[in-house]
Each structure stands twice: as structure tokens, then as C-alpha cells.
Homo-oligomer: A and B are copies of this chain.
Amino acid sequence: MSLTPNYRPADQAQLENFGVDWVVHYEFEDLDISKAIDEFESLLHDLHEANLETQVRPGHGASLLVFIRVPRAHLGNLVHQSRVKDWMYGIIHELPAGDEGTIVTAETPAEALRSVYHAVTWKQSLGGAHITPRHGKWKNIASAFPLHDQEANAELLRKWSRTILLTAEDLDSIRALFGEKVAFYFAFIQSYSSFLVFPAGWGIVSWWYWGSYSIPFAIGNCLWAIVFVEYWKIRETDLALRWQVNGVGVLKVTRAKYVWEKEIRDPNTGEIVQYFSPYRQFLRQLLLVPFASVASLALGGLIVVTFVLEVFISEVYTGSLKGYLEFLPTVIFSLFLPSISGLLTSIATRLTKYENYRTQDQYDVAQTTKQFVMHFITAFLPTALTAFVYVPFGAKLIPHLSLATLRGESPDLTRDFHIDAGRLKQEVIYLSLTGQVLDFGQEVVLPYVKQIALQKWRAYREQQATHRYKRRVSQATNQVLFDDPDESAFLTRVRNEAEAEEYNVHEDTLEMCVQFGYLTLFGASWPLVALGFLVNNWLELRGDFFKLSLEYQRPPPIRSDSIGPSLQGLEVLGWLGALSTAAIVYVYRDGMSEIRVSSLLLTLLLAEWAYLAMRFAVSTGLRKILSGTLQREAAKRYAMRKGYLEATSSSEGSPRGKLRVRFRDRVSVYTSATDPPSPQSDEMLHEPTLDSERRFWSGTSVLDDGVRIIRALGKTSQKTEKEL
């Protein structure tokens, strides 16, 4: 096994997905064998009820991998039905041609996989198998996920390593592979990074001519932030229309944990609708206010205490071990932060559950918003304290921190304390250079190394276990327990993917928002900060895709029509940025010679008014100039309706056959040309033709195989535990 086990795979077998659409990872480590067999039988039964084909193989440890394949004809019909549903909910405007039994080809792998996802997870009443990992009946299912398309991922990474900017086709490819939710993140980081060119260039000019804290850079930077946020709003709508996901939130299914007050029959549709008073939900949401206050106070208080202790030690304390003690408060804070964050997050989760959202989307948005608030506090408060408390007022405050004060004596105010006025700049430089590199290492490199190490250790352990128990199982069990040489590489990869974590796109988006925040809030103190971010983001974008394709399970291709609550975060940061920049420039520009509160307040007030006026002007202007897509969209709809009208009025046949006009702008999937017929390619209606694949799916009895594996591995692991 090489150090890059999955990247640039050596042989063709590793590329194949054996026609597998979805994998369910069932763990029975802590279960009675008979209970496990019951659950497994029930699982197979539910899957077969939903018209899904299954195959089974052993997983790592006491676990099963249930492979799911949707028959091609059934999948084609599911895709068609999904499109009809889109039309019914007004996501697309023209009814797809065909009737109930129509079979169509998915436009993208993501579209096909989304239908598979629905077939696996939706309720029985909606035609799915209702497999809900780690919830209710299926709490022993660790995960259910699609398999990565190795070749397509690798090709995209190879391509991007040679280019600077992502093109629109690249974004379409990400959408085709991972769905719109993920694609929106990459579209965002791409737009944001391209926009960074301006503050980076202007920063170099400003730094050269005026140095830090210059008014021209401050104004340019704030204007840039406004323009970027307003541009992104338009760009988002633009992409949502291009990808046909505008308003897609309405057709999301109800969460399993949704509680409703009553069921009412909608007078218009005649459907049964679950009703929960929006007024009550709003009241519950108001609990956010005390929560945010408490969280801010707790986190803020902790940060302030740490900060004070650090200053106290570094400036006042003169005892032994000073060099080490200086770092002690920060170290202690860092140690406590995870548990405090964890506590706050668990409160936030309980709040979000109590708020009782109907769809998973809404739930995610509410939860993410709360996490954003907490992240923003931990990310920005320390630097803000440095900028607006420590440096300007340090000389007055620090004497009160002396030991004399602690002993109740009046402080010695005559001593001259040394306040490092460059500390803000140093912190900002650290954030934009060292911090970014460390983050990248922590986020991408470290997990990868850990993953490789874990795989090696597991391979070693399994080899030992295999040797030990080889003799004691029957021939039939032996057959299912040990990998066929053909499948060996494939199964190894699937087992690794099953162990991988789920990808949360909001975390990556949040990271970019925090970066944007550093730039708008504190960029004025060191104009080169944007240059650092620009360089970092070239790597970040590729690193994130690398991470997504190799360190995480492939996410279900969920649709979305925006980057979610981050947009509001960006707006708030743009506004705070204007205030913060004005304050920094006012306080620091003249070497802090003379700070008058009334002038500072006037500066803030004027900065705020300028911000509001500019935002209005920029938003109006941009909407006017960039209205192209919206107009094109309207023109297209007009053309379609006109065509429909002409078609139906000239002949009296059924118009539905002529109706099929799709917004198929362009969809290029890099895999379709070179790959073996994968389930996502254009030939998805044909049966798989590869020998190994046919053999993979031709197992005699899935049920028996699974039971044998459970018996063998269930025993095995129990014994191993006893031995250890």
C-alpha cells in the first residue's frame, strides 16, 4: 500500500464502482447476533420493498457493507418523477414530456444519485426504503453514502493544478459530481478569491505609498467589501437559475423528527398538510436572544480574562519562568475552548430542535447560524480587544493590573508602561500568514496523515485476526468473509470510505467568511493582508476539493439555492468592517497622539452613513448592470411559452410531447468519455457489461451471505474483545 492509496490509482479495478449506487454501513459490534440478524433481515426486506437490488460484503470489524443498486429502468423513472415534482412545485416551468412510466436519462451523475438518495432515505409512503442512519429503527446503521467517482475527481484536481481560475464549466462539473449545495461553496470561494485581486493590488500600492492605517486603503477596502457582497447576492441568484434550483427549499421532505400540532387538509390542494403555528415557532426562535447573550458573555468573558492574564504576566509580572508563563493563559484557554464550545453547541442543538423546523434545510440553517455567531466571537474578539482596548487604553488600564492592586493598595501610576503599539499589526500579520498555513495543515494535511496511519494499523491488525480465525469457519462463510482478488482493491476503498467522516460544507464556507471578516475588520492595519489571503485561497480551493474527494464520504447531492446563512454573516461583516476600519484609521493614524471621544463617535457615525449610502448605490447599480441572467431567464420562459402556444394552436394533438424544453445550458461531465459505463454515464439504461461487475452482483443469496458474515464477525470480535 502506497502513501497515496487512492490518488492516481494503479489499476483499473480500483476505478470501478461495480455498478454500486449506494452503500449502507451496518455495524453490529454491540449487538446480540440474533438481534443483528433480525435487523439485517428487516433492512434487506425494506430495501427490496423499495425495488432496490442488494449485495453484501464484510466491512471493517464487526460490520456489514450492504451495496445497493437501483435497476436502471426504475432509476430512469425515478428521475422523471423527480422532474415532474419539480414542475409541480414551480422549480422548473415546463412540464417534462412523458407519462407515469416514462424513463429518462439523468442529466448529471448528481441528478441520478439524488434519485437514489431519495429511494434509500424517503419514507415508504413516498416510495423509499426509509433508511435513516443513526436514527430510530436504524441506529446501528453507521452511515449510508454513495461512492466517489475516483477518475472524475482526480481529473478535476489534475486540471486545477495547472490553472489559476476555475471556469464556469468547472463549477458545472462539481455540481454534476456533488450536487448544488457543494457547488455553491466552490462558486463562492472562486468568486471571492477572484475579487481578492483588487484589495491585494490596492494593498500593495497603499503599503508602498502610505504604509499602514491609510485612508485610501481603508476606503477602497470597505467599498470592495460592499461591492463583493452585493455582487455575490446577484451571482447566487444567477447560479440558482442556471442550475434550476431557485426556490428549491419548498419541495424538501419533512424531517423525521418534525412535530406538528395538527394535520389539516389544504383547501387548495386537497393534500394533508402538517401544521405548526409559525407564530409559536417565532416565539421559540426568540430564545436565540438570551442564548446569544449568554454565549457571547461566556466566550467573551473567557477571552477577556485570558487576555488580561496574558497582559498581566507579560507586562507586569517579573518573577521567574516569565517566558513560559506568558503563554499559560492562552494554552489554558485553548484547552478549555473545545469543551465550552461543545457545551454551547449542545445547547444550540437543543434550541434548534425545540424550534422544530419542518425540513432538514431549515434545521441546518438555524443550527449553522448559531454556530456562526459563536465562531465569529472566538475568531474576532481577541483581535478586536487588541485593537480597541489594549493598544489605545493599555497605558491607562495596565497599571491597575499590578500586584499592588491585587493587594488592595493604590497602583503606582507614575511608572511608565511600555505598550507595544505594533501589536495589532503583528496579530494581523500572524492571522493572514502563519494562521492560514497552520489552518490548512490542520484541516487538510493532518487528517490525511491520520487516515493513512489508521489504514495501515487496521490492515496490520486484520491480517493478524485473519490468521488466527482462518481455521474455525465453514467453507461457505470463508467464501463470503474473504475478498475475491478481483474485488479486493474495490472493497478496501469502500471500507475506507465507510469509515470516513461526513462532509459539512458549512464549515468550509464559514472559514471563508472568517477570512473575509479579518480583511474587512482589521485589513486597514496591514494592507498586505489581502495578498496573503489571495495566495492562501489558491491552495485552499484545491485543498478543499482534495479533502472532499479523499478524506470524506461523498456527500449526497443535495440541492440548495444559496450558500445559506453565510450571506447574512457577510453583510454583517461588511457593516462592522466599515465601523471597525473607520475606528482603526482614526485611532492609529496619527500615532495615537490625541483621541477625542466625540471625534471618534462622529467618525463612526459618518462611516456608518457612508456605508449605508454606498451599499444602496452599489446594490442599485449592480442590479441594473448585471441583470443579464434574469432577463435571459425571462426571455427564455417567454420563448418557451410562445413556442408552446404556437405548437398547440397549430395542431390539436397532445401538446405534452412537444413540451419538453429544458434549460440545458451545458453540462459537461468529465467522466462520460473515458469511463467504463458507470451508473451515472449516458448509457445508464444498459445493464453493466464488465465481467467483474456481473460477478459482483451475481451472489447467490444476499440474506444468507449477510447472516454468515454476522455470525462469523460477531463471534470473532466478541472473542477478540475477550482476549484483549
Contacts and interface: CB of A to CB of B under 8 A. Distances in A.
Nearest to A288: B617
Contacts of A625: 278-279, 282
A347 interface: no
Interface string A80-120: 00001001111001010001100000000000000000000
A627 interface: yes
A639 B268 contact: yes
Contacts of A644: 95
A619 to B, nearest CB: 12
Contacts of A608: 605, 608
Contacts of A634: 89-90, 250
A465 interface: no
Interface in A447-487: none
Interface residues of A, number: 49
Interface string A133-167: 00000000000000000000000000000000000
Contact of A602 (B575, B601, B649): B601
A638 B279 contact: no
A604 interface: yes
Interface stretch (A407-415, A535-543, A651-659): A651-659
Given A95-B645, A282-B625, A605-B604, A639 B270 contact: yes
Contact of A269 (B601, B635, B649): B635
Nearest to A596: B598
A285 to B, nearest CB: 8
A285 B620 CA distance: 11
B269 A642 contact: yes
Contacts of A235: none
Contacts of A655: 654-656
Interface in A175-230: none
Contact of A652 (B270, B605, B637, B654): B654
Contacts of A90: 93, 634, 637-638, 641
Contacts of A88: 638, 641-642, 645
Given A648-B656, A652-B654, A639 B84 contact: no
Contacts of A656: 648, 655
Contacts of A278: 624-625, 627
Contacts of A100: 649
Interface in A591-643: 597-598, 601-602, 604-605, 608, 612, 621, 624-625, 627, 632, 634-639, 641-642
13 contacts: A88-B638, A90-B634, A99-B649, A100-B649, A266-B635, A268-B632, A268-B638, A269-B635, A278-B627, A601-B601, A601-B602, A655-B655, A655-B656
Given A90-B634, A282-B624, A575-B612, 10 more contacts: A90-B641, A268-B632, A268-B636, A270-B639, A278-B625, A282-B621, A601-B605, A605-B608, A608-B608, A648-B656
3 tightest A-B contacts by CB? A601-B601, A598-B598, A269-B639
